[in-house]
Amino acid sequence: MDAQDLEFDRRHLWHPYTSMVDPLPSYPVHAAQGVELELTDGRKLVDGMASWWCAIHGYGVPELNKAITDQLSRMSHVMFGGITHQPAVDLGRQLVKMTPEALNKVFLADSGSVSVEVALKMAIQYQQSIGTPRHRFVALSRGYHGDTTGAMSVCDPVGGMHSLFNGYLPENLFLPEPPQGFDTPLDAEYLQQCHRVLAAHQDELAALIVEPVVQGAGGMRFYNPEYLRHFRQWCDEFGILLIFDEIATGFGRTGKLFALEHANVVPDILCLGKAITGGYMTLAATMTTTSVAETISRGAAGVFMHGPTFMGNPLACAVANASLNLLEASHWQTKVRAIETQLRAELLPLKRLENVQDVRVLGAIGVVQCTETVDVKALQKRFVELGVWIRPFREVIYIMPPYVISPLQLSRLSSSIKEVLLRGV
């Protein structure tokens, strides 16, 4: 990649959440192997982001490479309407086995946002089918569920995009965000407040959607898993379906295979994505119960009304199967626990710094919340100079590395964070 390529990129290619007038720089990556991204100039960066929660096994993983090339030699894609295939069946089996017993119907979607749309549509069709049509959703403030329209409408109403798309987005209801902290005791007043809101609006609410335990892109907040039990109870009380969005937290990231296991609460609908293919391809899944699936199927439409072109893509399913097999065989719990212990030792002391508001660690997630919004451009440049790939947002510098990261590589990430906090950029 030369200067002209970069110039073309700058002029013609949108990047996530960027300006076409004054885009932040993009760093050209030429290859990725293990836990390192290699820039075109040969510099290697230790990856602290796992490509946004996805690359849990790192890059260039032999088992995943083999799965995808083997599948490629048979077929890369066929339609899923009227056709089925081994990779989809194998993946369905794996997902049904890994998730709580009640979740045994699988809808394969092509991205996390689409799996959220599917979950919302399932809830609407379900409520219609039982003869009590309800057309609104309730979500948590500070939540993030994706960028498509339905998903946006349940993202945080302030930090999200509601004001921008006002008039276009459905107007949903929001509970306040749960108090910060995995170990913070339950707040009785908060519980009462939520219960009051749900009680007052129960007749219009199709479902409550939450990210269990970790609110990711809305600010990397953790909350007490016990709140999930109350959400479950209220949903049962008011006939509201409960949707868990585990697109970020699924597949071991928080120290449990799924974050819902921290409270042993089973939702009616579960969204999975991101790490499902080990970061190789885009794929997601929306899982639900027999009761929800059959109720929908006995409703007016007689079917669930969704079916993307690339549904159940064989390449994506094949690599997902390999990734989930590898996860099971990989002692991920030991690795995630080791990452957690090391992150606590290396990051928690940063709490003392005066430009640091809070530091928190859960599983293989480390978060340093600064007192002020950070200069992403300058910070990113400094991190690259220090040989690490960390992309902060707002006032949050966070890492969620591949589980295969070595203690030395992990130290490199934490010491780089310490360096920029101590000495600036």
Ligand X SMILES: *Cc1c(COP(=O)(O)O)cnc(C)c1O
- Per CB under 6 A, residues contacting ligand X are 111-113, 116, 144-146, 211, 216-217, 245, 247-248, 273-274
Q: Is residue 97 annotated as part of the catalytic site, yes or no?
A: no
* Catalytic residue status for 147: no
The nearer residue to ligand X, 145 or 262, going by C-beta atoms, is 145
Q: Are 137 and 173 contacting, i.e. CB atoms less than 8 angstroms apart? A: yes
DSSP state letters, 65-113: HHHHHHHHHH-S---STT---HHHHHHHHHHHHHS-TTEEEEEEESSHH
CB 56 within 8 A of CB 278: yes
Nearer to ligand X, 87 or 143 (CB): 143
List 110, 156, 274, 403, catalytic entry:
274
Q: How far is the CB of 366 from ligand X (least distance, A)?
A: 17
Q: Clarify whether 203 is annotated catalytic.
A: no
Catalytic residue among 2, 17, 41, 183: 17
Minimal distance, residue 209 CB to ligand X, in Å: 9
Side chain identity at residue 68, one-letter code: I
Pick the closer one to ligand X by CB: 210 or 336. 210
Q: How far is the CB of 147 from ligand X (least distance, A)?
A: 6
**For residue 292, how far is the Cα from the chain centroid?**
24
Residue 351, annotated as binding a ligand: no
C-beta neighbour count of 30 within 10 angstroms: 12
Q: Of the listed 156, 245, 280, 398, which one is catalytic?
A: 245
273 versus 392: smaller Cβ distance to ligand X: 273
Q: How far apart are CA 166 and CA 153, in angstroms?
A: 10
How many H-runs (helices) and E-runs (strands) does the chain carry?
Answer: 13, 16
Q: CB of residue 256 vs ligand X: minimum separation in angstroms?
A: 16
CB of 34 or CB of 278, closer to ligand X: 278
Note if 245 is an active site residue: yes
Query: Using an 8 Å Cβ cutoff, are 34 and 293 in contact?
Result: no
Least CB distance from residue 273 to ligand X, whole Å? 5
Least separation in angstroms between CB 218 and ligand X: 9
309 is in an annotated binding site: yes
Nearby residues of 7 by Cβ (< 8 Å), 6 or more positions away: none
Return d(Cα 215, Cα 209) in angstroms, integer: 12
Measured CA to CA, the distance from residue 21 to residue 42 in angstroms comes to 29
> Residue 129 Cβ, how far from ligand X at the closest point, in Å?
26
Choose between 267 and 273: whose C-beta lies nearer to ligand X: 273
Ligand-binding annotation for 274, yes or no, is yes
Q: Is 53 marked within a binding site?
A: no
Three-state DSSP state, 304 = coil
Q: How many CB atoms lie within 10 A of CB 3?
A: 7
Closest C-alpha among 103, 419, 130 to residue 258: 103
| Closest alpha carbon to 221 in 257, 189, 259 | 259
Catalytic option among 144, 227, 280, 403: 144
Q: In this complex, which beta carbon is closest to ligand X, that of residue 58 or of residue 216?
A: 216
Using DSSP bridges, classify how beta strands 214-215 and 221-222 pair: parallel, antiparallel or unpaired: antiparallel
Taking the C-alpha atoms of residue 95 and residue 118, their distance in angstroms, rounded to an integer, is 17
Closest-approach residue to ligand X (CB): 112
**d(Cα 98, Cα 94) in Å, to the nearest integer?**
6
Amino acid at 142: R
Q: Which residues are annotated as a binding site?
A: 52, 112-113, 144, 245, 274, 307-309, 391
Q: Which residues are annotated as a binding site for pyridoxal 5'-phosphate?
A: 112-113, 245, 308-309
Which residues form the catalytic set? 17, 144, 245, 274
Q: Which residues are annotated as a binding site for substrate?
A: 52, 144, 274, 307, 391
